[in-house]
A and B are shown apart, each in its own frame.
Chain A
């Protein structure tokens, strides 16, 4: 790493650490932004690097959300009675119970989706192209519909996650969840950046560019595909667990397995920023979050119309994303050597 990038990373880290104190009114928004960046970055491992465009990462996100809340409740109280009582709480977590439960819940929320991804990976990742996309779309929706019929996690009426213990009020709650999600973001970034410097990324790129050739070169593609998916699932589950606590209420199709919102958002964010780059999804998620909050505030009621139009416009006119556009414009900055004569010839051709 060069000196400049160290300064950049430290700057971002410091900004992340002090942000909730500079913008105290936006703590929840900033936490959501962190979760969105985690989702976009992990989607990018799948869709951008591996070329397996999935709508199904929402499965792990929702699974993580339900698991974290269930563990947090189930460790201390009977789960069925908790969900049955709904909003009126007969059980109250003490602060230490809450934090212990959260820690255990997040661990489970990250590990179990990883295992699930490993188990179903062999069957699902053998599909190619659009079959894979539609299959994962089906998985996400099926999970939402089925979890909406299971009594113990609240079925149709939803699942209220344990409220934050009564210490420090709303401020402390916001700071706790902000630092939790920022921690998840830092963890994800470090992990993904480490992965991207290894041979693993090259193999994923080889799978994206031509899977049959990669296989012919002696790469056991299935093994790497499953590993890639498991990494995605790990961070998606973690993000889901945090988001569940942050939102405070889990509904099967509107919050957890929300393929119509979050499931599309992650794809869109990664595409907006630029697939297959480290910074693309991060920039895309940040931009998208600003756009979205603007839409949600100023076009209240019309937000889905705006979202639909946005998807179509981005996909048709901007499929390479911001990073792709920059790369085309300034290839030197991306470490590509450009032949000046060649470039002039291309400009003339245009």
Chain B
């Protein structure tokens, strides 16, 4: 174990800043997760694979000589239609069913996507080099790649746009109404089928943005999807559905946790620690809830 992190304050600052910028990205993915969970009552295991697919779109543009930052605009547009297609083919058949059915069905989609991406793009770890350079802080002790700052900024912009859209637009109001009570919304003339499709499309588009940003900032690999799903799931259960500041905060918290786990436990335990944290959070939540139930007795 490496306790350098406590002896050198600069490493602590580095880890915190890295974690914050990373966490904003996680929060964006988690926002999509919260949206579909709240509206359709579906847990999408393929969330992370949608993210990776979005990343590959940006990477593909990079391969053909277009600057990958444009992927931030192209990727969500493509991913929106991918999301609609998935909805029409699979999700609309599992919306009203048991949650486990949706988990298993999206697990199937996840395996399918993983392997198709593996065929299409190869099993190498890739990144789209944005060539943004780095920023040095604190006498060159803390190194921040500009691409990370860029990605955090773009995530915030997209999140704000989405929040405003959900508050103001007609579709946004319909989505919120459906989330509150699907049956009542239907009675009042909302085409819930369309709303579901749009919700899933928006979720996929958000994943596309996040994926494009991840391909610029970090690396992508066909099999790296599941950790993103688990992270977004964790953020949503910590923050609760429909609690946007909560999603942002817990996303950043998770980012910082991961950076510290990386420094202290070593990189090989990074993903493991995320999954273990999920288990711990769920168990903590269970004991907290059971205390409430005992009080009721």
Closest B residue to A131 by beta carbon equals: B282
Closest B residue to A271 by beta carbon equals: B104
CB distance from A60 to the nearest CB of B (A): 15
Is B238 an interface position by the 8 A CB rule? no
CB distance from A123 to the nearest CB of B (A): 4
Q: In the complex, what distance in Å separates the CA atom of A149 from the CA atom of B275?
A: 14
* Contact call A135/B282, Cβ cutoff below 8 A: yes
Within 8 A of B (CB), among A285-329: 301-302, 304-305, 307-312, 315-316, 319
Closest B residue to A124 by beta carbon equals: B283
Tell me the dominant secondary structure on chain B's binding face: helix
Is B269 an interface position by the 8 A CB rule? yes
* Contact call A260/B269, Cβ cutoff below 8 A: no
Closest A residue to B226 by beta carbon equals: A141
Is B22 an interface position by the 8 A CB rule? no
- Specify which chain A residues have a CB less than 8 angstroms from the CB of B108 in the assembled complex: 307-312, 315
Interface residue total, chain B, C-beta cutoff 8 A = 42
* Contact call B107/A146, Cβ cutoff below 8 A: no
A138 and B279 in contact, given A149-B269, A304-B114 (Cβ under 8 angstroms) = yes
Is B90 an interface position by the 8 A CB rule? yes
Is A126 an interface position by the 8 A CB rule? yes
Tell me the dominant secondary structure on chain A's binding face: helix
Q: In the complex, what distance in Å separates the CA atom of A126 from the CA atom of B226?
A: 24
Closest B residue to A302 by beta carbon equals: B115
User: Per-position contact with A for B282-297: 1 when CB-CB < 8 Å, else 0?
Assistant: 1101110010000000
* Contact call B43/A145, Cβ cutoff below 8 A: no
* Contact call A316/B93, Cβ cutoff below 8 A: yes
* Contact call A304/B282, Cβ cutoff below 8 A: no
A309 and B272 in contact, given A138-B230, A315-B105 (Cβ under 8 angstroms) = no
- Selected from B93, B97, B112, B233, the residue in CB contact (under 8 A) with A134 is B233
A126 and B100 in contact, given A138-B230, A138-B279, A309-B108 (Cβ under 8 angstroms) = no
Within 8 A of A (CB), among B240-297: 266, 268-269, 271-272, 275-276, 278-279, 282-283, 285-287, 290
A130 and B43 in contact, given A138-B278, A141-B275 (Cβ under 8 angstroms) = yes
- Specify which chain A residues have a CB less than 8 angstroms from the CB of B237 in the assembled complex: 131
A-B contact pairs, 19 of them (CB 8 A): A123-B287, A130-B43, A130-B100, A134-B230, A135-B278, A135-B282, A138-B230, A139-B279, A141-B275, A145-B271, A146-B269, A146-B272, A148-B272, A267-B104, A308-B113, A308-B114, A308-B115, A312-B90, A316-B101
- Specify which chain B residues have a CB less than 8 angstroms from the CB of A53 in the assembled complex: 100, 103
- Specify which chain B residues have a CB less than 8 angstroms from the CB of A310 in the assembled complex: 108
Q: In the complex, what distance in Å separates the CA atom of A142 from the CA atom of B234?
A: 14
Is B111 an interface position by the 8 A CB rule? yes
Is B116 an interface position by the 8 A CB rule? yes
Is A264 an interface position by the 8 A CB rule? yes
* Contact call A149/B115, Cβ cutoff below 8 A: no
* Contact call B104/A308, Cβ cutoff below 8 A: no
- Specify which chain A residues have a CB less than 8 angstroms from the CB of B275 in the assembled complex: 138-139, 141-142, 145
Is A163 an interface position by the 8 A CB rule? no
Closest B residue to A52 by beta carbon equals: B100
- Specify which chain A residues have a CB less than 8 angstroms from the CB of B166 in the assembled complex: none
Q: In the complex, what distance in Å separates the CA atom of A315 from the CA atom of B101?
A: 6
Closest A residue to B230 by beta carbon equals: A138
Is A92 an interface position by the 8 A CB rule? no
Q: In the complex, what distance in Å separates the CA atom of A267 from the CA atom of B99?
A: 15
Closest A residue to B283 by beta carbon equals: A123
- Specify which chain B residues have a CB less than 8 angstroms from the CB of A130 in the assembled complex: 43, 99-100, 103
- Specify which chain A residues have a CB less than 8 angstroms from the CB of B285 in the assembled complex: 131
Closest B residue to A307 by beta carbon equals: B111
CB distance from B278 to the nearest CB of A (A): 4
Q: In the complex, what distance in Å separates the CA atom of A316 from the CA atom of B100?
A: 11
- Specify which chain B residues have a CB less than 8 angstroms from the CB of A307 in the assembled complex: 108, 111
